[in-house]
Amino acid sequence: MAKPLIELEQVRLAFGAKTVLQDVSLAVEKGETMVVIGPSGSGKSTILRLIIGLLKPTAGRISVHGEDVASYGEEDWNRLRKRMGMVFQYSALFDFMTVGENIAFGLRQHTDKTEAEIEAIVLHMLERVGLAGQENVMPANLSGGMKKRVSLARAIAVQPDIVLYDEPTAGLDPIMSEVINNLIVQARDEFGVTSVVVTHDMDSAFQVADRIAMLYDGQIIAVGTPSEISRSTDERVHRFVHAGRETAANTEEDRHEAQQ
């Protein structure tokens, strides 16, 4: 079996006395979508920040594209980051640029493509995410869901091998969540993108995941396919994965009883 594209081995991260992650080990294979679930504040987003070098681990080993990145400085990281993309929780669009300029940013910075080629890619990307004709709008004039889609278009415009998604559906209505989920699946199927998605939206997790890892109290307590996770006997996993549904089912039953 080929070496995993992203690998964390016994990674520990602490800010002063506060330990955020302890002994996290996780391997993401090429072309798969790994979803990391877990309660808020469990350190999910931190994992993404470690994978793309925004944070350095206190201890442990991280490898990306088979390169041991623990000792990497900004220059080495930038070489790797040209093949990576990230969708931030609050989109993090550059607010002093138009939507089109945001999507073109990576292409303008790191490729020799002509303006005409870049414009064609921008228009194509906007069409893919269902925002055709919005290239001259400023990000401030977009809704949350539109910003997310622009952010996604910006991340995949440079055709990265790895895309990291930080809470891609948080704060979106169900229909917009569905749109985003489809885009994540499309990115994998069409471009063979390897993805790590951090979310606490279970519907989204089960829709996009090839495998799911559950993070709890700074540790990975379960990894498996969606059906394995769904059938997990670990109480913490079971409660987290089924919480919303059981509550919904209970209220349904209650209502039923009340009616009788």
> Which tokens go with 82?
């040209």
Nearer of residues 110 and 124 to another protein, judged by Cβ: 110
Judged by CB under 8 A, how many residues of this single chain contact another protein? 25
Candidates 36-44, 88-96, 142-150, 210-218; binding stretch for another protein (CB under 8 A): 88-96
| Shortest spacing between CB 86 and another protein, in angstroms | 5
Query: Nearest 5°: phi and psi at 130?
Result: 75, 30
CB neighbourhood size of 260 (10 A): 5
Nearer of residues 73 and 133 to another protein, judged by Cβ: 73
CB neighbourhood size of 74 (10 A): 8
Per CB under 8 A, the list member of 66, 94, 189, 231 interacting with another protein is 94
Q: Any contact of residue 81 with another protein (CB under 8 A)?
A: yes
CA gap 165, 181 in Å, rounded: 11
Candidates 25-33, 93-101, 168-176, 240-248; binding stretch for another protein (CB under 8 A): 93-101
Binding string, 136-165, against another protein, x = CB under 8 A?
----------------------x-------
Nearer of residues 103 and 131 to another protein, judged by Cβ: 103
Nearer of residues 67 and 228 to another protein, judged by Cβ: 67
| Shortest spacing between CB 110 and another protein, in angstroms | 6
Rg (alpha carbons) of the chain, rounded to whole number: 19
Nearer of residues 83 and 231 to another protein, judged by Cβ: 83
- What type of residue sits at position 112? D
Could you tell me which residues come within 8 angstroms of residue 111 by beta carbon, excluding any fewer than 6 positions away? 158
Per CB under 8 A, the list member of 6, 88, 199, 240 interacting with another protein is 88
CA gap 243, 240 in Å, rounded: 5
> Which tokens go with 157?
């415009």
CA gap 161, 196 in Å, rounded: 11
Query: Nearest 5°: phi and psi at 55?
Result: -130, 150
| Shortest spacing between CB 90 and another protein, in angstroms | 6
Q: ∠ CA(175), CA(150), CA(127), 5° rounding?
A: 80
CB neighbourhood size of 104 (10 A): 22
| Shortest spacing between CB 75 and another protein, in angstroms | 9
CA gap 94, 211 in Å, rounded: 32
Binding string, 200-239, against another protein, x = CB under 8 A?
----------------------------------------
Nearer of residues 24 and 84 to another protein, judged by Cβ: 84
Q: Any contact of residue 72 with another protein (CB under 8 A)?
A: no
Backbone φ/ψ region at 163: left (φ over 0), alpha (ψ -120 to 50), beta: beta
Binding residues (CB under 8 A) for another protein: these are 49, 52-54, 74, 77-79, 81-82, 84-86, 88-90, 92-95, 105-106, 109-110, 158
